[in-house]
Amino acid sequence: MSTSDSDYSLIKQGKVKTAYESPSNPDTIMFDFSDRISAFDVVIPTDIPKKGENLRDFAKFFFDNLNVPNHLIDTVDSTKMIVKKLDMIPVECIVRGYLYGGLFDRVNNGEIEIDCDNVLATKLSEPIFDPTTKSDIKDEPITESEIISQNIVSEEELNYLKNTSIDIYKKILDMASKSGFLIADLKLEFGKDESGNILLADSIGPDEFRLWSLAKYEVGKTQESYDKQILRDWLIDSGYKKQLDDAKKK
């Protein structure tokens, strides 16, 4: 499929990808994956060469191989893909298989209880569904009961989101393990088409999951990452994360 950028108009500039729509085909959106990278909800000023190409290729691979209804229509050039326009569900469907990141902090702060050893990078007995709100500023944890009470989706739809998200996590974990990696957690997004069908949407790649070396995995240790956790760790060690948190309090 080929197209011209002049056929599309900007509708949203995201942290990493930009979305465009076509006046001649209002049922579709074009995503353009950039080389930008964000951490702690802030876009870092230095780009990563070829990142956009890799993110687009990851997204296409997973949409093509997960056997889950999704919104991908076609790919364009090296960084773009055409997708079906959906009514996006304002919840980030996060699945966690290991005690790490924000989940580790919340467990040790007593904000959430999980039946596992409270040791960094512990594998959970079963992956858990740990949704958050979807925000351009800061995503916040949200419970399943809150999702229902706020009429974000019905109970039946929530069960579909939860079960499908966990199933996708297990599929990707299996794919990764065959190549010597672990997927610690995964963020997914879904939307509804004009008939109310729920489709897997947005993208899936190293910006949406933590990827660890299977051979180097060790409970109780900070894991060697093959995703943007490398950047998060550097920002924490350099003191940037503290400066950002302090600024938000003002």
pLDDT class for 2, splitting at 50, 70, 90? very low
Polymer length in residues for the chain: 250
For the segment 173-193, the average pLDDT, to the nearest whole number, is: 97
* Residue linked to tokens 């049922």: 27
Instruction: Give the pLDDT confidence score for residue 1 in this predicted structure.
Output: 38
Q: What is the mean pLDDT of the chain?
A: 91
Instruction: Give the pLDDT confidence score for residue 212 in this predicted structure.
Output: 96
Instruction: Indicate whether 69 pLDDT > 70.
Output: yes
Instruction: Give the pLDDT confidence score for residue 3 in this predicted structure.
Output: 54
pLDDT tens column, 79-97 = 999 999 999 999 999 999 9
User: Which two three-digit tokens encode residue 233?
Assistant: 């760790």
Instruction: Give the pLDDT confidence score for residue 4 in this predicted structure.
Output: 55
Instruction: Indicate whether 244 pLDDT > 50.
Output: yes
Instruction: Give the pLDDT confidence score for residue 168 in this predicted structure.
Output: 98
For the segment 46-54, the average pLDDT, to the nearest whole number, is: 93
For the segment 190-212, the average pLDDT, to the nearest whole number, is: 95
Instruction: Give the pLDDT confidence score for residue 245 in this predicted structure.
Output: 79
Q: Which domains does the chain have, with CATH numbers?
A: 5-85 (3.30.200.20), 88-249 (3.30.470.20)
With helix as H, strand as E and coil as C, how does the chain read?
Answer: CCCCHHHCEEEEECCCEEEEEECCEEEEEEEEECCCEEECCEEECCCCCCHHHHHHHHHHHHHHHCCCCECEEEEECCCEEEEECCEECCEEEEEEEECCHHHHHHHHCCCCCCCCCCCCCCEEEEEEECCEECCCCCCCECCHHHHHHCCCCCHHHHHHHHHHHHHHHHHHHHHHHCCCEEEEEEEEEEEECCCCCEEEECCCCCCCEEEEECCCCCCCCCCCECCCHHHHHHHHHCCHHHHHHHHHHC
Instruction: Give the pLDDT confidence score for residue 233 in this predicted structure.
Output: 84
More confident residue, 26 or 245: 26
- Percent above pLDDT 70 for the chain: 95
pLDDT class for 123, splitting at 50, 70, 90? very high
For the segment 6-18, the average pLDDT, to the nearest whole number, is: 86
Least confident of 59-63, 123-127, 170-174, 240-244: 240-244
Instruction: Give the pLDDT confidence score for residue 107 in this predicted structure.
Output: 93
Instruction: Give the pLDDT confidence score for residue 122 in this predicted structure.
Output: 96
For the segment 138-151, the average pLDDT, to the nearest whole number, is: 92
More confident residue, 5 or 52: 52
